[in-house]
Structure 1
C-alpha cells in the first residue's frame, strides 16, 4: 500500500487529467440512472446509451416503463448482455418502486439493494451520482486500477471499496471513482496498460509488469 503523500499525488494528477468527471451513462432522472446502471452489468456504457436513448424516449418514467411486458422490455434491450434476466429485473424493479416507494428511487444503500438486479456497486452509483450521497462504487476498472497503483491490495471489489474509503477523503470519493474508471478505460487497460505514457507510472506499484 502507498504512503499518504503518494496517494495525495495520485489524486492530484488524476484530477488534472480528468477534470469535472461524471458518469458516462446518459440519464435525466434518478430512475433513468438506476435502469441504465442495471443494464450496464457486463455491457459497455456506450452500448447502454444506445439502448436507453430509444427506451427512455419512449418510456421515460417508472409508470410508463412498468406498463411494458417483459417481452416488450426485451425488445428494447436485446443487445445488452444478460438481456433476458435484465428485462425481468427491470420489470420487477418498476413494480416495486410503484408499490413500495410511490414511484421514487430509494435513497439508501439498503433499500436500493432490495431491488432486483441491484448489487452494492449499482446502489453506490445511484447514491453518488443521483443523490450526491457519499459512496465509492467499485467496478472492474476501479478494482483493477486501484490494486495496480497500490491504493488497494484486495482480490474482491468489496474489500477494495473498504480500503479506498479508508484511504481517500470522503469529499473525493465520487470524483475518485470516476477518475479511476476513466484512467482504466483510457490508459490502464486490462490486458495491455500503456505504462509508457501513464503520468502515474512513477508512483505505480506494478508499472511495466503487465507488458
Structure 2
C-alpha cells in the first residue's frame, strides 16, 4: 500500500474495487430477497430481519445498506420496476412473433413472482405513506412502458380509432388474470381467454 507523509496510507484501486463489488453483491442479494419475501409472505411477513436471513447477511449488514424498512422496500419497488421492464424488453428479442404468442407472453408476465411481489407492494403502499408515492410513480412508469411495448409487439396502429383503448383493455384483462391466479391455478381458463383475446385483437387491430 502506498503512503504519503502528510496523509498516511492511500488505498489502491485494486484494493477498493473488490470491496465495492462485495457491497454491490450484498445489496443485490437483499433486493432479490426482499422481492421474494414479498411474493411469499406479503408485507407483514417481510421484515428486515427476515429479508436479511434469506439474503444470507446479518441484520447489521442489511441496515448498513438500508437503514430502515421503508428504505429497503422503496429500493425494492425500483428493483421490481426495473426487473419487470427488463422482462418486457426480453420477450421477443428477434422481433414480435405471431399475435397469440405475444398475447400469451404478456399474460404470463402477470402470473409470475415479479407481479406477485408488485401486488404486495401495491397493498402495502395503500397503507404505508412512505411507500405510496414511490410505488405510484414507478407503477405509472412501468404502465407506460408496458403499454408501449405491447403496442409494438402486437403491431397496433394507435392512429386507428379505439386501438389504444383496445390494447389497454387487454393489459387490464391480463392484470385481472394475474390476480385470479393468486388464489387458484387458473391455467386452463387462462389459455381459453388468451385464445379469445388473440382473436379479438386480430379483429380490432387488423
For the criterion TM > 0.5, the same-fold answer is no
Q: Give the helix-richer structure, 1 or 2.
A: 2
**TM-score, normalised on structure 1?**
0.30
**TM-score, normalised on structure 2?**
0.30
Which protein shows a greater Rg?
2
